[in-house]
């Protein structure tokens, strides 16, 4: 099939590269000319495992093209995905300016039937607005359909998530749209759920909000665990073995971050408010996530007494492993709070250092975990990169001024570290 994807961010690039890999002719468009000229040479602006190889391969075999001309993209393809950003406005609402602009451009440039597929995370009824907008600006009376096809891929495992989705949700209205979309996704051999458009739009928000709720719930349980001497990992395991609960998204830590959960939760709270519903549960989820960062900061303060003048090593900057994405990263919030308190910060992250250098001032960037630990009064694990799980603790202990580890992601065995002479503080591991 001939497909265009408007918006070459995370979702757009991963979807574009994966659809090309499935054998489609794909054009990825973006109005950032520099980004497009880089992508044409195989320079990918984000770190996502496997993405660069996929883009380079498909550029070579000419199944993938990049353009800064929406017109070219719209003219060349019957199926057009909208994957532009929907950043948060000050009041928490999603800014849909990008979506409206794209809808207008599609209308002005289409020269025959087009299937417009909305993939960005948007409030319910956005597809209805896209439909109206196209109907207003369309030049000739060409036919078109609008489909809602929310994306569930996670950063760090986006390509695998694209190729092996738990489900593909298609909110649509016509048989033609159904045929095209099911043909497109047929090679993935995954369960397809066909719904009405508004349900599909809601599924995305409801899913992300539910996952964030699971995380805040287990973080709240971690608080109780610390007070009574229970271990949240054991509690989560015991809960997760119940199939009705499930074991995923029950890892306590320094709170969720990233480009989706914080923004989507805020947007969903605002959507509900506009509809006259006070979504109290989600407000509590948001507050628990905020509190979690303060809770970890307090742990560090309790252990160090005075923060001012102390050297603190932070391992992990990205909001989760296997990405260089720093958006809403709890690690960055923690570092900024520690700097405010007067700490000297040394950091190391396997992939996110370059991006961090643009936003973090007054920190020392180190080439590896041991250099970061050198002379530090405390070492914090802020992102659970695999390489931090395999550190040489004897070497690490020699480097640290004080053998104090605050394991913000619960990646270590407390007993093992304590036996080696470390003071170990996890999140909800029952030790204060």
Active site residues: 260
The span from the CA of 101 to the CA of 277, in Å, is: 30
Site residues (CB under 6 A) for ligand UDX? 151-155, 208, 211, 215, 249-251, 253, 256-258, 260-261, 319-320
The least distance separating ligand UDX from the CB of residue 212, rounded to whole angstroms, comes to 7
| Chain CA centroid to CA 184, Å | 25
The residue written with tokens 């719904």 in the block is 195
Q: Which is nearer to ligand UDX, 70 or 153 (CB)?
A: 153
Q: Which is nearer to ligand UDX, 167 or 398 (CB)?
A: 167
Q: Is the dihedral of CA 121, 125, 127, 130 positive or negative?
A: negative
Q: Which is nearer to ligand UDX, 16 or 258 (CB)?
A: 258
Q: Which is nearer to ligand UDX, 154 or 397 (CB)?
A: 154
The least distance separating ligand UDX from the CB of residue 214, rounded to whole angstroms, comes to 7
The span from the CA of 350 to the CA of 364, in Å, is: 15
Please work out, in degrees rounded to the nearest 5, the angle formed at the alpha carbon of residue 113 by the alpha carbons of 136 and 129: 35
225's CB contacts (< 8 A; 6+ apart) are 231, 232, 235, 428, 429, 430
Find the residue with minimal CB distance to ligand UDX.
Answer: 260
The span from the CA of 316 to the CA of 351, in Å, is: 9
Q: Measured between alpha carbons, how far is residue 289 from residues 267, 278, 319, 391, 407 in Å?
A: 16, 19, 13, 28, 17
The least distance separating ligand UDX from the CB of residue 169, rounded to whole angstroms, comes to 11
The least distance separating ligand UDX from the CB of residue 72, rounded to whole angstroms, comes to 28
Q: Which is nearer to ligand UDX, 20 or 252 (CB)?
A: 252
The residue written with tokens 């009705």 in the block is 244
The least distance separating ligand UDX from the CB of residue 171, rounded to whole angstroms, comes to 16
């Amino acid at each position: 099939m001939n497909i265009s994807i408007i918006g070459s961010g995370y979702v757009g690039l991963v979807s574009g590269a994966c659809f090309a890999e499935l054998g489609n002719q794909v054009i990825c468009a973006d109005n950032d000319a520099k980004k497009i000229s880089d992508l044409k040479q195989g320079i990918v602006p984000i770190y996502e495992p496997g993405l660069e190889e996929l883009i380079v391969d498909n550029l070579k075999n000419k199944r993938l093209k990049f353009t800064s001309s929406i017109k070219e993209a719209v003219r060349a393809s019957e199926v057009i995905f909208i994957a532009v950003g929907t950043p948060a406005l000050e009041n928490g609402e999603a800014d849909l300016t990008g979506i409206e602009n794209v809808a207008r451009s599609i209308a002005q440039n289409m020269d025959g039937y087009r299937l417009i597929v909305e993939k960005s995370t948007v409030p319910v009824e956005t597809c209805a607005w896209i439909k109206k907008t196209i109907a207003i600006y369309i030049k000739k009376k060409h036919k078109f359909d609008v489909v809602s096809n929310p994306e569930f891929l996670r950063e760090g495992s986006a390509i695998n998530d694209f190729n092996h989705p738990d489900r593909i949700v298609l909110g649509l209205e016509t048989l033609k749209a159904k045929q095209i979309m099911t043909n497109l996704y047929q090679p993935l051999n995954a369960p397809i759920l066909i719904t009405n458009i508004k349900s599909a739009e809601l599924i995305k928000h409801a899913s992300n909000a539910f996952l964030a709720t699971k995380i805040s719930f287990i973080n709240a349980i971690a608080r109780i665990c610390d007070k009574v001497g229970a271990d949240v990992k054991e509690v989560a395991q015991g809960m997760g073995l119940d199939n009705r609960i499930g074991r995923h998204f029950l890892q306590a830590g320094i709170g969720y971050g990233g480009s989706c959960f914080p923004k989507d939760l805020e947007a969903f709270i605002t959507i509900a408010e506009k509809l006259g519903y006070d979504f109290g549960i989600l407000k509590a989820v948001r507050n628990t996530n905020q509190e979690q960062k303060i809770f970890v900061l307090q742990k560090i303060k309790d252990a160090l007494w005075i923060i001012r003048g102390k050297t603190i090593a932070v391992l992990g900057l990205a909001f989760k492993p296997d990405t260089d994405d720093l958006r809403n990263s709890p690690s960055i919030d923690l570092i900024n709070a520690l700097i405010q308190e007067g700490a000297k910060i040394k950091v190391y992250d396997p992939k996110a250092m370059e991006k961090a250098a643009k936003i973090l001032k007054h920190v020392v960037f180190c080439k590896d975990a041991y250099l970061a630990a050198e002379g530090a009064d405390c070492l914090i694990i802020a992102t659970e990169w695999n390489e931090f799980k395999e550190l040489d603790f004897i070497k690490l202990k020699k480097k640290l001024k004080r053998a104090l580890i605050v394991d913000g992601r619960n990646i270590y065995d407390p007993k093992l570290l304590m036996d080696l002479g470390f003071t170990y503080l996890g999140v909800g591991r029952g030790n204060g």
